[in-house]
Amino acid sequence: MMVLSFIRKLDPAYQVDKGNKIRLMVELSNPDLPLKWYKNGQLIKPSNKATSDHREGPRGPAGGGCHLLSPHVSPVSPEPPVTIVKGPEDQQVVVGERVVLEVEVSEEGAQVMWTKDGVELTREETFKYRFKKDGKKHFLILNEATKEDTGRYRIMTNGGEAEAEVIVEEKQLEVLQGIADLTVQATEQAVFKCEVSDEKVTGRWFKNGVEVRPSKRIHISHTGR
């Protein structure tokens, strides 16, 4: 039985520009041996897409010969770089507001990475951040921002990066209706009301500089603003 022996085997990897021809070459110890080419387990037959050629090489004691396969299609090419077409804009918001950083890249389906102050942001680490894709657009969303969300946010692709600064400030509370003076009889009920501009703010009450605490005689409630 004759054993097929390679003097030169295929290189482990090939890289060419998209659209160019690939030349795959091996060298056999016996140029008269039949040789078949396969791609992903499927036999490749000579066609206008791929041509096979047999060329005599330098002969040693056991003979020799080179076989080449030159495919014309499906070239192996490196992943094209994805660039940033439009970067995120700096934002200044107050505590509790929503922050949306929007970025447009050059290719759909691109893989991107978001970081805050150099630390990668992932879904697994926190539920604070939402990552959204819409074609070439990528979004980083922060619901109800806090002071801790202040920082520099960066998006990175394999072909570029861009960043924006987010500043989260405390809300400036406005008193819409102040406390009114009251004159009541000794056994009557006194009700003090105050209306502010943010319904999420819980007020604290004081009498002569000392904080008032709820008791059987004192009731404190918070409804809306």
Centroid of chain to Cα 178:
48
Which one-letter DSSP state was computed for residue 143?
S
**Ordered domains of the chain (ranges, CATH):** 6-71 (2.60.40.10), 84-169 (2.60.40.10), 173-225 (no CATH)
Residue 19, pLDDT > 90, answer no
Residue 47, pLDDT > 80, answer no
- The pLDDT of 186-194, averaged and rounded, is 90
Burial 181-203 (b: 16+ CB within 10 A, else e): eeeeeeeeeeeeeeebeeeeeee
Distances (CA, A) of 8 to 3, 29, 61, 69: 15, 9, 15, 14
All residues at 6 or more sequence positions from 38 whose CB lies less than 8 Å from its CB, including other chains? 44
Torsion of CA 68, 73, 79, 84, to 10 degrees: 150
Comparison of pLDDT for 78 and 169, the residue scoring more: 169
CA-wise closest residue to 193 among 170, 219, 171: 219
Range with the poorest average pLDDT among 55-69, 101-115, 165-179: 55-69
| Per-residue confidence (pLDDT) for residue 60, from 0 to 100 | 43
Asked whether the beta carbons of 152 and 164 are under 8 A apart, the reply is yes
| Per-residue confidence (pLDDT) for residue 28, from 0 to 100 | 76
- The span from the CA of 152 to the CA of 91, in Å, is 10
pLDDT digits (tens, 9 = 90+) for 116-174: 999 998 876 567 889 999 999 999 999 889 999 999 999 999 999 999 999 999 878 88
- The span from the CA of 194 to the CA of 180, in Å, is 9
- The span from the CA of 220 to the CA of 209, in Å, is 17
Confidence of residue 59 (pLDDT cuts 50, 70, 90): very low
Residue 61, pLDDT > 50, answer no
| Per-residue confidence (pLDDT) for residue 109, from 0 to 100 | 85
